[in-house]
Structure 1
Amino acid sequence: MIFDSAKNLDFYKNLGVEGRYAKAVDFLKNTDLENLAPGKYEIDGKNVFANVVEYTTIPWEEAKYETHRDYSDIQYVISGTETMTYAPIDELNIKVPYNEEKDVVFYDNENPGLKVVVKAGEYMIFNPWDGHKPKAAAGEPAPIKKVIVKIKEN
């Protein structure tokens, strides 16, 4: 798990395989994120793509821990504020088994985890071994827009 801000994106260009993080960073730095409509954006086929989402955050207790087997996430907040929570995968209890089509496992909320308030221009990187709980309100539920860049790790 990594928490950082937009000014440091270049530092992460050399992570991963086949320049995939570099493509993700270039997309985040060179795209007018504020004017992107919600939807899926192909960057490098199934290796790197982005999902732009808008929603109202929910109480922490209603958000769900998840992990992915094949993809890392860069969850970049475009506008608004969200609490994202991290917990090691081996400290979570599976609630909904792996869905291969969606590349996701869901867990129960027993682990309080490490909560991070993520503001516009900030992001968290979650790898397949990182349990993460997005969508939680930082205080009262509020609108948010973010982009989740998915990077294939295998």
Structure 2
Amino acid sequence: MIFDSAKNLDFYKNLGVEGRYTKAVDFLKNTDLENLAPGKYEIDGKNVFANVVEYTTIPWEDAKYETHRDYSDIQYMISGTETMTYAPIDELNVKVPYNEEKDVVFYDNENPGLKVIVKAGEYMIFNPWDGHKPKASAGQPAPIKKVIVKIKEN
């Protein structure tokens, strides 16, 4: 798990395989994120793509821990503020088994985890071994817009 701000994106260009993080970082730096409509954006086929989402955050207790087997996430806040929570995968209890089509496992909420308030221009990187819980409010529920860049790791 990594928490950082937009000014340091270039530091992460050399992570992963086959230059995929470079493509993800270039997309984040060179795209007018604020004016992107919600939806899926192809960057490098199934290796790197982005999902732009807008929603109202929910209470922490209602958000769900998840992990992915094949993809890392860069969850970049475009506007608004959200609490994202991290917990090691081996400290979570599976609630909904792996869905291969959606590349996701869901877990119960027993682990309090490490809560991070993520504001516009900040992001968290979650790898396949990182349990993460997005969508939680930072106080009262509020609207947010973010882009989740998915990077295939295998």
Q: TM-score, normalised by structure 2?
A: 1.00
Q: How many percent of aligned residue pairs carry the same amino acid? A: 95
Q: Deviations over 1:9-56 (max 9, x none)?
A: 000000000000000000000000000000000000000000000000
Hey, what does 2:74 align to over in structure 1? 74
Is the partner of 1:109 in helix, strand or coil? coil
CA distance in 1, matches of 2:52, 2:100: 22
Structure 2 counterpart of 1:33: 33
Deviations 1:65-97 (A, max 9, x none): 000000000000000000000000000000000
Query: Who is 2:131 aligned against?
Result: 131
Shift of the alpha carbon at 1:100?
A: 0.1
Show CA shifts across 1:81-125 (max 9, x none).
000000000000000000000000000000000000000000000
Taking the aligned partners of 2:135 and 2:19, their CA distance within structure 1 comes to 29
What is the SS of the residue equivalent to 1:76?
A: strand
Once residues 22 and 136 of structure 2 are traced to their aligned partners in structure 1, the CA distance between those partners, rounded to angstroms, is 28
1:137 deviates by 0.0
Q: Secondary structure at the match of 1:111?
A: coil
Q: Summarize deviations over 1:123-150 as a string: whole Å, max 9, x none.
A: 0000000000000000000000000000
Gaps of 5+ in 1: none
Q: What is the SS of the residue equivalent to 1:138?
A: coil
Cα RMSD after superposing both structures: 0.1
The 4+ residue runs of structure 1 with deviation greater than 4 A are none
Shift of 1:64: 0.0
In the aligned structure 2, how far is the partner of 1:67 from the partner of 1:36? 26
Structure 2: tracts of 5 or more residues without a match: none
Q: Secondary structure at the match of 2:37?
A: coil
Distance in structure 2 (CA, Å) of the matches to 1:67 and 1:46: 18
